[in-house]
Structure 1
Amino acid sequence: MTVLPSKTLSITIERRPEEVYAYVTNPENFPEWVTSFVKSIRRSGEEWIVETTEAPITLKFVDNNDYGVADHWVTVATGQTILNPMRVIPNGSGCEVVFTAFRQPGMSEESFANDTAMIESDLRTLKRIMEK
C-alpha cells in the first residue's frame, strides 16, 4: 500500500467542544454546514444516504465517544470507501475542528486542491453556525 498525500485543515470555534461534537456527528446537520456538495441526507439502517451535487454517497460515522473523534467513512458511486479523519479538540472555552483529507489514487492535484478548498469553506460555514 502506498502512503497517500494529505492535507490537514483546522478551524478554531468559540463554542464548547461537546456542543460542536454533537452537531458535527449528527448527519442530519450536514446539509446546513457541508454546503459545498451535500443537497440532502436520509438514514438507511446504520448508514446515511447523502444526495450530492454529483452522485449519491453513503456515510457512516464511528460511534460517539468522549475523545472528540468524528471519523467517518464515505462510500462513493464507484464503491470505493474513503476514511475521513475528523476531530473536535478542546481549546480553552472553545475547540479546534481538525479534518485530514487524503489525495486518492488517480486524483489530480487540481481536483485535490478543489476538494480541500471545499472542506475549508465548509469548516468556515460550521464556525459561523456554531458561533451564532
Structure 2
Amino acid sequence: MRSRHVSRVIAASPEVVYAFAADPDNLTRWAAGLAQGAVVREGDSFLVDSPMGRVTVTFVPHNGFGIIDHDVALPSGEVVNNPVRVIAHPEGAEIVFTIRQLALSDDDFLRDAAAVERDLDTLKNLIEQGS
C-alpha cells in the first residue's frame, strides 16, 4: 500500500487555516472531493453527498494541535481514515493531507491525489482571499 502526502502552503496563520478547514460547514466550499451538497449533522458525524455516494464523515474532536483527521464511511460500509494536519510554516501554515492507496488501482489512486490537490488549491485560494 502506497501513501502520498499532498500539501499546500497558505499565507495565513495555522489557527486561521485550522478553524476554516476543520469547520464541517465549510466542506462544500473547498472539499469537492468529499462534499457536494448540504452537510447534515447526525450526532458527532456528518452526512454528505460525495462523488462516492452518500457518506458519513466523523472528525476527531477540535484540538490545539492542528489535527483534522477524519473517517469517511463509504456506501459499501468500508471506512477510510484520512490524516490531515495543519502545521506552522515560515510563510504562514501548511496543510498536509495523507492519501493511502488501500485497494485502489494505480489510476484511481492518482485520481484521488489529483482531487485532493484541487481541493487544497481551493482551500488556499479561499483563505488567502479572506473568505
**TM-based fold match above 0.5:** yes
Q: CA deviation at 1:113?
A: 0.4
User: Which residue does 2:73 correspond to in 1?
Assistant: 75
Q: CA deviation at 1:53?
A: 3.0
SS at 1:39 equivalent: coil
Q: CA deviation at 1:104?
A: 1.6
What stretches of structure 1 move > 6 A for 4+ residues in a row? none
Q: CA deviation at 1:39?
A: 1.2
| Structure 1 alignment gaps of length 5 or more | none
Residue identity in the other structure for 1:52: S
After superposition, what is the alpha-carbon deviation per residue over 1:21-67, rounded to whole angstroms, capped at 9, x for unaligned?
01111111010001245212111111000111341000011111111
Q: CA deviation at 1:93?
A: 5.3
1:1-132 matches, cutoff 5 A: 4-40=1-37, 41-92=39-90, 94-105=92-103, 107-132=104-129
Distance in 1 (alpha carbons) for counterparts of 2:69 and 2:52 = 22
Distance in 2 (alpha carbons) for counterparts of 1:54 and 1:76 = 7
SS at 1:56 equivalent: strand
Percent of aligned pairs with the same residue? 34
Contact between 2:5 and 2:99, CA under 8 Å: does it hold in 1?
A: yes
| Structure 2 alignment gaps of length 5 or more | none
User: What is the TM-score with the length of structure 1 in the denominator?
Assistant: 0.92
Paired residues in the alignment total: 128
Distance in 1 (alpha carbons) for counterparts of 2:43 and 2:94 = 31
User: What is the TM-score with the length of structure 2 in the denominator?
Assistant: 0.93
When the two chains are superposed, the root-mean-square deviation of aligned CA atoms in Å is: 1.1
